[in-house]
Chains A and B, each alone.
Chain A
Amino acid sequence: MRIGYYPGCSLLGSSREFNESVKAVCEAIGLELVEVPDWNCCGASSAHVLDHELSVALPAKILAQAEAAGLTEVLAPCAACYSRLIGAYSELEKNPDHKTRVSEIIEMPYTGAVKVVNVLEVLERFADVIQAKAVQPFARKVACYYGCLLVRPPKVVNFDRPEDPQVMDQLAAKVGATPIDWPFKTECCGAAFSVTRTDLVAKLCGKIVDSAVKLQAEALVVACPMCHSNLDMRRPETNAALGKDLQIPVLFLTQVIGLAMGIEPKKLGIQRHMVPVAFNAPTGAQA
């Protein structure tokens, strides 16, 4: 099986381990990732506040490139990329006449033939394969953290339960983890305020991390580079704001699955985290 792959900027920069672990897990489950040729920026957090047409055209260009390459689906692991891509896709499906305008702007045909999927949706299709290959069960209590971009807006992304999503918990359970029932699954982590208002991010992440620890989670599991960097990289500020020293690690879901499948931790980028991951590591793992 093959599927289009759009890494976006985060997965080549601050979240290289997400890229590495997605690729490693997909290889293990037999899913070939075909990188969208000549891809461009998805517009991220800037385009849609500046120019609406631009914010639709940028993702549309990516999808048009995928279409030209004969792909029918594109996997966007980064939650922000996913949000921009599916937002543009659904807007153009709702207003088919805008497709003509967008095609003019991007100077190539856009028909809407390519669908956008996130990493949870793709892994869910392989849930049984994943379960079968989980030779080293990740037998720990985990707090699955979805953040905002994966689950919103509900009418566009069609998540199971927008305020209390389940799919990541179910996947984590497939590889032996025990997901905790907690209320912070979709609470705000501070997102892009990481740079401009680190104090806010520290405060918001503090609540998330603190609650997970209180409920005895041993790891936070995420599927979004932004969530990850706020919960992981901003831990010193978070701990300072809390007045505590919380060392709960933050893993990408693909890393959790990869570890359970016995993939070498280095191949999953485990060593790149700021908060060290010191468990369930087969030989050669570095903290």
Chain B
Amino acid sequence: MSRIGVFTCHCGENIAGTVDCPKVAELTRQIPGVVHSVDYKYMCSDPGQTLIKEAIKEHKLDGVVVAACSPRMHEPTFRKAAAEAGVNPYLCEMANLREHCSWVHEKNEATTQKAADLVRIMVEKVKHDTPLTPIKVPVTKTALVVGGGIAGIQTALDIANAGHQVVLVEKSPSIGGHMSQLSETFPTLDCSQCILTPRMVEAAQHPNIKLMTYSEVEKVDGFIGNFKVTVRKKAKKVDEKACTGCGLCVTKCPNKKIPDEFNEGLAFRPAIYVPFPQAVPNKPTIDTANCTYFKNGKCGVCSKVCPTGAIRYDQEDELITMDIGAIVMATGFKLMQTDKFPEYGYGKYKDVIDGMQFERLASASGPTAGVIKRPSDGKEPETVVFIACSGSRDRAKGVPYCSKICCMYTAKHTMLYKHKVHHGQAYVFYMDIRSAGKDYDEFVRRAIEEDEAKYIRGRVSRIYEEDGKLIVKGADTLMNGEPVEIKADMVVLATAVQSQDRSEDLAQTLHISYDKYGFFAEAHPKLRPVETNTAGIFLAGACQAPRDIPETVAQGSAAGAKVAALFSQDELTREPIVAVVNRQAPPLFSTCTGCFLCQTACPYQAIEQEEIKDRSGRVIKTVAKVNPGLCQGCGTCVAFCRTKAIDLAGFSNEQLFAELMTL
């Protein structure tokens, strides 16, 4: 028989004003199992808590019901008091007499009756409570950062500077990401590479950062603090230790006609290449798909010229498995392809380029050394039309969302163009100018007022070639929709920012959610912007939504801080409110029949399959098993279970049915 104590609080006049508290104490004293029931003015006060603690000792209580305010208010207070008196804190429950009773009802008999009923419900619950202990989970203090753009670099540096180990994985041969391709950045017009490359070097040389370029995440198992991650280190066919980065192989490679990804196809690179001069690591990679040696076994020039014998044609991909405590996704974005725009020629006009190609044209390290030349014939364009929202905010043909960065970079492009082609004229077709941000609107005004970009509010309906010019047909909606026709030498489309290719696959590998556009989903749009729904996995940068550099860096640091906070503990303590699959003596072992409906219901992938084996190792039964590290305690699986094999600690079937029996 239980020995339960009931402590009814007056909360000054807050409860006692409408509820007859002494009567509640008297009524509840009669409940079987209740051995002690008192009322007091302020239970949460020091004397109140002492009163409870002493009663626990004096009456040898094994369960406590505090009838006071909402458990959302004082449950931790009273559970702590109970624990101090030697009762497992999870055997202390609260009946909500204030928010759910005294404050919402009139002073009468029915209200007092309800108060007594609420206590009765909790007494029955406590009778079926089981002592629980908080779950401890060890933490591996190594973080994995996926993606070596500015988001990943910033995150890795912040975690590393906090004194923790970081593995930075980048799929291409160099870190740097899109930011390394940019010419100058808004709103300050400082050179992108000048501010980025020192960070790249810092990341590469940091003693706490292990850089893995040309590598991709293949598999992720485990849970917060205890992930097991397999990374595929693709074969560069170059021994990174032996290579000195002299670049002789790159100069001598005879196959030099491969479209250069870094220059967005505006230049060519050899089959053995370093993506760009400031690449980190500055060691070459063989593009096996385009290398003559790998195509027909002939050539081998790079191997012959290499002074250190670093070329390894037989190098294979390596699978490396690591123990990881936290993961930060920083995989970035891609731009919508220009051939997605039928009205702009399906990508067939060479001089219709996208924003990133313009960055390369304007970049001092680009294919034209920063001189603006149009791709078709290398002529300096005298009229350039910029089309904002190419694919963005277009529900019919593109994506419905705003790509966020285009208004700003388009203004920047008009300025860079004007600074380089003084007699040139830039036109911008736009829908709205979205320039919210520090010094952003001033920047756009400068483009319009000082650098004389002509902004036309309206959409472009068609682009076609005529007499060597690109005819841009649009409308000026601020001039009653008057048709506008501009004979341009070059057109730059501010194409929509999209999620990376295969981002959905990657999300599924990591068990994180993503939206319908393939962007990774944050746990809460306002209050948990850098966390995912999977504990221990965080987000930084444009893999979550279109972002500019300052926001990306801020988010990278935020994710870094989250990881550092996680790593500040040796063990994680979790509420023991988790689901459990029952275990019984042989021959039943468990009432679980292995239908795994619970697995489909679980939003956290917390349910695994477990094989029950006999002594000879023969599998007798495959049953569900809850990983307490991942389970968040929602109980959806419990309602799904057909055989009632799974139950939720703290809100078990037994407890809830016992509560209902009081009715």
Whether A and B are associated in the same complex: the answer reads: yes
Complex CA distance for A65 and B396, rounded to whole angstroms: 34
Contact A163 B465 (CB under 8 A): no
Which 3 A-B residue pairs are closest in the complex by CB-CB distance? A183-B464, A163-B342, A163-B343
Closest B residue to A184 using CB positions = B464
A130 to B139, CA, bound (A): 74
Q: Write the nearest CB–CB distance from B385 to chain A, whole angstroms.
A: 16
Digitize A187-230: 1 where CB-to-B-CB distance is under 8 Å, 0 elsewhere.
Answer: 10000000000000000000000010010000000000000000
Contacts of B465 in A (CB 8 A): 183
Question: CB within 8 A of B462: which of A161, A183, A214?
Answer: A183
Q: When A and B form their complex, what is the total count of cross-chain residue pairs whose Cβ atoms lie within 8 Å?
A: 19
A214 vs B462: C-alpha distance when bound (angstroms)? 18
Contact B466 A211 (CB under 8 A): yes
**In the complex the two chains form, is A164's CB within 8 Å of B342's CB?**
yes
B342 surroundings in chain A (CB, below 8 A): 161-164
**A134-159 interface (Cβ within 8 A of B):** 154
The minimal Cβ–Cβ distance linking A206 to chain B, given in whole angstroms, is 13
Query: Would A187 and B462 be within 8 Å (CB), given that A162-B342, A163-B342 are in contact?
Result: yes
Instruction: Say how far B301's CB is from chain A's closest CB, in angstroms.
Output: 42
Question: What are 19 residue pairs bridging A and B, where the CB atoms are less than 8 Å apart in the complex?
Answer: A154-B396, A161-B342, A161-B346, A162-B342, A163-B342, A163-B343, A163-B462, A164-B342, A164-B346, A182-B464, A183-B345, A183-B462, A183-B463, A183-B464, A183-B465, A184-B464, A187-B462, A211-B466, A214-B466
Q: Which residues of A contact B464 (CB under 8 A)?
A: 182-184
Chain B residues contacting A183 (CB-CB under 8 Å) are 345, 462-465
Rounded to whole angstroms, the CA-CA distance of A182 and B466 in the bound complex is: 10
- Which residues of chain B come closer than 8 Å to A162, judged between CB atoms? 342
Smallest CB–CB gap between B103 and chain A, Å? 48
Smallest CB–CB gap between A84 and chain B, Å? Answer: 21
Q: In the assembled complex, how far is the CB of residue A152 from the closest CB belonging to chain B, in whole angstroms? A: 11
Q: Which residues of chain B are near A184, meaning CB under 8 Å? A: 464
Size of B's binding interface in residues, CB under 8 A? 10
**Complex-state Cα separation, A182 to B343, whole angstroms:** 12
How far in angstroms is the closest Cβ of chain B from A204? 10
Contact with A along B327-353 (1 / 0, CB 8 A): 000000000000000110110000000
Q: Most chain-B Cβ atoms within 10 A of its Cβ — which of A154, A183, A184? A: A183
Within 8 A of A (CB), among B460-474: 462-466
**Cα distance A206–B630 in the bound complex, in angstroms:** 69
What is the minimal beta-carbon distance from A167 to any residue of chain B, in angstroms?
Answer: 15
Chain A interface (Cβ within 8 Å of chain B)? Answer: 154, 161-164, 182-184, 187, 211, 214
Sample of 16 more A-B contacts, CB < 8 Å, known A161-B346, A183-B464, A184-B464: A154-B396, A161-B342, A162-B342, A163-B342, A163-B343, A163-B462, A164-B342, A164-B346, A182-B464, A183-B345, A183-B462, A183-B463, A183-B465, A187-B462, A211-B466, A214-B466
CA distance A228 to B466 in the complex (A): 24
Cβ contacts under 8 Å, A182 to chain B = 464
CB distance from B350 to the nearest CB of A (A): 15
Complex CA distance for A162 and B461, rounded to whole angstroms? 13
Which residues of chain B from 463 to 496 have any CB-CB distance to chain A below 8 Å in the complex?
463-466
**What chain B residues lie within 8 Å of A154 (beta carbons)?**
396
Residues of A within 8 A of B462 (CB): 163, 183, 187
Q: How far is the CA of A163 from the CA of B465 in the complex (A)?
A: 15
Interface residues of B in 318-374 (CB under 8 A from A): 342-343, 345-346
Complex: A184 Cα to B343 Cα, angstroms: 10
Q: Which residue of B lies closest to A210 (CB)?
A: B466
Contacts of B346 in A (CB 8 A): 161, 164
CA distance A161 to B463 in the complex (A): 16
How far, in Å, is B346 (CB) from chain A's closest CB? 7
| A157 to B67 CA separation, bound complex (whole angstroms) | 68
The CA-CA distance from A187 to B466 in the complex, in Å, is 15
Who on chain A is nearest to B343 by CB?
A163
* Least CB separation from B471: chain A residue: A183
Chain B nearest CB from A196 CB (Å) reads 18
How far, in whole Å, are A259 and B346 apart by their CA atoms in the complex?
A: 33
In the bound complex, what is the Cα–Cα distance between A93 and B343 (angstroms)?
A: 30
Of all chain B residues, which has the CB nearest A214? B466
A150 to chain B, nearest CB (A): 16
Minimum CB–CB distance for B432 against chain A, Å: 24
Chain A hits for B396, CB < 8 A: 154
* Minimum C-beta distance from B462 to chain A (A): 6
Bound together, the chains give a CA A154 to CA B342 distance in angstroms of 13
Mark B442-476 against chain A: 1 for CB-CB distance below 8 A, else 0.
00000000000000000000111110000000000
Within 8 A of A (CB), among B203-231: none
Query: How far does the Cβ of B445 sit from chain A's closest Cβ, in whole Å?
Result: 35
- Separation of A161 and B460 alpha carbons in the complex (Å): 18
Chain B residues whose C-beta falls within 8 Å of the C-beta of A211 in the assembled complex: 466
Residue in chain B with minimal CB distance to A155 = B396
Chain A residues contacting B343 (CB-CB under 8 Å) are 163
B606 to chain A, nearest CB (A): 42
Question: What is the CA–CA distance of A116 and B346 in the complex, to the nearest angstrom?
Answer: 30
Bound CA span A164–B343, Å: 8
A187–B396 alpha-carbon span in the complex (Å): 19
C-alpha spacing A65/B79, complex, angstroms = 78
With CB as the reference atom, state the residue of chain A lying closest to B348: A181
Within 8 A of A (CB), among B52-107: none
A89 to chain B, nearest CB (A): 21
Point out the residues of chain B lying under 8 angstroms from A214, CB to CB: 466
Q: In the assembly, what is the distance between CA of A154 and CA of B345, in Å?
A: 17
Chain B, residue nearest A203 (CB): B483
B323 to chain A, nearest CB (A): 51
CB distance from A274 to the nearest CB of B (A): 27
Residue of A nearest to B463 (CB): A183
CB closest chain-B residue, reference A183: B464
What is the bound-complex CA distance between A232 and B344, given in angstroms? 28
| Bound CA–CA A78/B311 (angstroms) | 68
**How far, in whole Å, are A131 and B465 apart by their CA atoms in the complex?**
32
Closest chain B CB from A60 CB (angstroms) = 26
Q: How far is the CB of A191 from chain B (nearest CB, A)?
A: 16
CA distance A184 to B466 in the complex (A): 12
Q: Which residue in chain A gives the minimum CB-CB distance to B349?
A: A183
- List of A residues within 8 angstroms of B466 by Cβ: 211, 214
Q: For the complex formed, measure the closest distance between the CB of A160 and the CB atoms of chain B, giving whole angstroms.
A: 11
Please, how many angstroms separate the alpha-carbon atoms of A163 and B341 in the complex? 9
Nearest-neighbour CB distance to chain B for A205, whole angstroms, equals 15
Q: How far is the CB of B482 from chain A (nearest CB, A)?
A: 13
Give complex CA distance A183, B472 in Å.
12
**Cβ contacts B394-406/A at 8 Å (1 or 0 each):** 0010000000000
Q: How far is the CA of A214 from the CA of B463 in the complex (A)?
A: 17
Task: Please report the C-alpha to C-alpha distance between residue A136 and residue B464 in the assembled complex, in whole angstroms.
Answer: 34
Which residues of chain A come closer than 8 Å to B345, judged between CB atoms? 183
Closest Cβ of chain A to B331, distance in Å, is: 32
Nearest-CB residue, chain B, relative to A204 = B483
Residue of A nearest to B342 (CB): A163
